[in-house]
Amino acid sequence: MRVLIVGSTHGKVNESMRDAFIEACRELGAALARARVEIVIGSDSVDTADRYVLEGVATVEGQHRVWILRPDSEETPFAEQTAALGKRVEFIYKRLRGPWSAGRVPQIQAADAVLLIGGAGGTLTSGYVAPALERPVLAIASFGGAAAELWPHLEPYYNRLGELSHRVGNLGSTDK
């Protein structure tokens, strides 16, 4: 199974919220790695969830596959980490045609599910496009941004999950 991670601190968070976002992303990466889920990411920016999810993956023993899909015109992300993480992380790079907005569709298609955390425009786009491409979406609204904006649109689907809906509902809380 592959999960696309999309999100960022969206430039409007205080230091405490940023630290919580980074820690949550690392925990997500570790949890996905322990579950043997491959991740799909695209950026190594310090503002994106991608970087910190990868850091979490790298803390888990074993070999983990990470798919990096991004526009062809950009540099190679995580180039400096490739050698250091080579024993635990197998990077698979795939270049996409066009700008980031055009690259979202192939990223979503490369995944079995999409996880949104915080984020801005690209996260919002992914949250709307993924269901049209028949990919389930999980929004973590706790960090505001696009994931919080999408939460009211996605919550009715989460409510159909029976007992699990109570646990998913915690992701919609913005109480910190």
Instruction: Give me the pLDDT at residue 70, please.
Output: 87
Instruction: Give me the pLDDT at residue 162, please.
Output: 59
Cβ proximity of 136 and 114 under 8 Å: yes
Instruction: Give me the pLDDT at residue 161, please.
Output: 58
Higher per-residue pLDDT: 169 or 81: 81
| Chain segment 128-142, per-residue pLDDT in tens | 999 999 999 999 988
| Chain segment 64-80, per-residue pLDDT in tens | 999 999 887 667 777 66
Residue 143: both structure tokens together: 């960090």
Can you tell me the distance from the alpha carbon of 176 to that of 174, in angstroms, rounded to the nearest whole number? 6
Q: What are the boundaries of each domain within the chain? A: 2-172
Q: Which residue has the tokens 């230091």?
A: 15
Can you tell me the distance from the alpha carbon of 28 to that of 35, in angstroms, rounded to the nearest whole number? 11
Burial of 140 per CB tally in 10 Å (0-12, 13-18, 19+): buried
Fold of 2-172: Rossmann fold (3.40.50)
Mean pLDDT of the region 61-66: 94
Among 39-43, 45-49, 124-128, 153-157, the minimum mean pLDDT is found in 153-157
Supply angle C-alpha 76, 106, 32, rounded to 5.
Answer: 75
Q: How many helices (H) and strands (E) in the chain?
A: 7, 6
Among 120-124, 129-133, 163-167, the minimum mean pLDDT is found in 163-167
Residue 36: both structure tokens together: 């043997």
Burial of 12 per CB tally in 10 Å (0-12, 13-18, 19+): exposed
